[in-house]
Amino acid sequence: MTTPFNASSNVPPITEEDIAEFLVNTPDFFERHAEVLSSVTIASPHGQRAVSLHERQAEMLREKIKGLEQRVMDMVRHSSENTGIGDKMHEWVRLLLAVKEPMRLPAAVENGMRDLFDVPQVALRVWGVSPVYAGEDFARGVSEDARAFASSLTSPFCGANMGFEPTQWLPQAAQVQSLALLPLRDGAIDSTEPAFGLLVLGSHDPARFEASMGTEFLTRMAELASAALSRLR
């Protein structure tokens, strides 16, 4: 006796993806079955109670709005911080341009970093200077290794105090937890020109100069300081 063929035996089961696709492609489903929408309840992320789909959607919308508000606040804060840094940089450049005697430029660079940008410790060395400045403190005490190291930097180095030789130029090197090293060279900081100096910024705060921090402003500072200090050569 032949068994009748059961056509339903080859029909695959309906999956959650099938249901989701159907609802997406049938936007008027809940208009025709409004009672289904009002009867659906799901767990709330805020406690163990069950809420309606409408309530859950409202919660999700509130969370999204809260996230957007936080992003706007962050953008406003960053904008304010960037404006403040820009104003300080403008004042720093103005002071450098007002220096008439080139020999006073290194001190002006260092003082500006300390006073305007609140950097606790600053040191500056320049080499290859004109013979008239060769005996100044800012032109002495730099090894060939330190010069080669400065030339190898094509962007500001930021990170923990790892005992680099230039760190010893700082007045209280043992207290430095993080530092920034800014190479000084003609033109852009990432050019192939060898460095003719190095600006060292040190802080007792390990988070002040982190390896992951943005270096756009530090790059500008390095290039501006390079342009000003080129008068010593």
DSSP structure string for 3-54 = PPP-GGGGSPPPPHHHHHHHHHH-TTHHHHTHHHHHH-EEE-SSSS-EEEHH
Together in a domain, 219 and 116:
yes
Let me know if residue 91 belongs to a domain: no
pLDDT tens for the 233 residues of the chain, in order = 444 445 455 777 888 888 888 878 887 877 787 676 666 666 666 656 665 666 767 777 778 887 777 777 767 666 667 677 889 999 999 999 999 999 999 999 999 999 999 999 999 999 999 999 999 999 999 999 999 999 999 999 999 999 899 999 999 999 999 999 999 999 999 999 999 999 999 999 999 999 988 899 999 999 999 999 999 99
DSSP summary character for residue 220: H
Together in a domain, 133 and 226:
yes
The confidence score (pLDDT) of residue 5 equals 44
Let me know if residue 225 belongs to a domain: yes
Together in a domain, 31 and 104:
no
Let me know if residue 140 belongs to a domain: yes
Let me know if residue 68 belongs to a domain: no
Q: Range of 163's domain?
A: 99-232
pTM for the predicted model, two decimal places: 0.68
Number of structural domains, the chain? 2
The confidence score (pLDDT) of residue 208 equals 94
Together in a domain, 212 and 154:
yes
The confidence score (pLDDT) of residue 28 equals 81
Which residues neighbour 87 within 8 Å (Cβ) at sequence distance 6 or greater?
A: none
Let me know if residue 154 belongs to a domain: yes
Let me know if residue 160 belongs to a domain: yes
Task: Determine the Cα–Cα distance for residues 72 and 50; give it in Å rounded to an integer.
Answer: 32
The confidence score (pLDDT) of residue 1 equals 47
Let me know if residue 79 belongs to a domain: no
